[in-house]
Amino acid sequence: MTVYLHEEDLPAGVLGDGPLAVDTETMGLITPRDRLCLVQISDGRGDEHLVRFGPGSSYDAPNLKAVLADPGRVKLYHFARFDLAAIEHYLGVEASPVFCTKIASKLVRTYTDRHGLKDLVRELLGKEISKQQQSSDWGGTVLSDAQQEYAASDVRYLHAMHEILTERLAREHRTAAAEAAFAYLPHRARLDLLGWSDKDIFSHES
What pLDDT, on a 0 to 100 scale, did the predictor assign at position 188? 97
Confidence of residue 1 (pLDDT cuts 50, 70, 90): confident
* 8-state DSSP, 119: H
DSSP-derived pairing of the beta strands 36-42 and 48-52: antiparallel
Domain ranges of the chain: 3-196
* Nearest Cα to Cα of residue 38 among 29, 55, 51, 20: 51
Strand order in the sheet with 75-77: 3-7, 48-52, 36-42, 20-26, 75-77, 98-100
Q: Residue 200 forms beta bridges with which residues?
A: none
Which CATH architecture describes the domain 3-196? 2-Layer Sandwich (3.30)
pLDDT tens for 98-144 read 999 999 999 999 999 999 999 999 999 999 987 766 678 999 989 99
pLDDT tens for 63-104 read 999 999 999 999 999 999 999 999 999 999 999 999 999 999
CA 188 to the chain's CA centroid: 15
Mean per-residue pLDDT over the chain, rounded: 96
pTM: 0.95
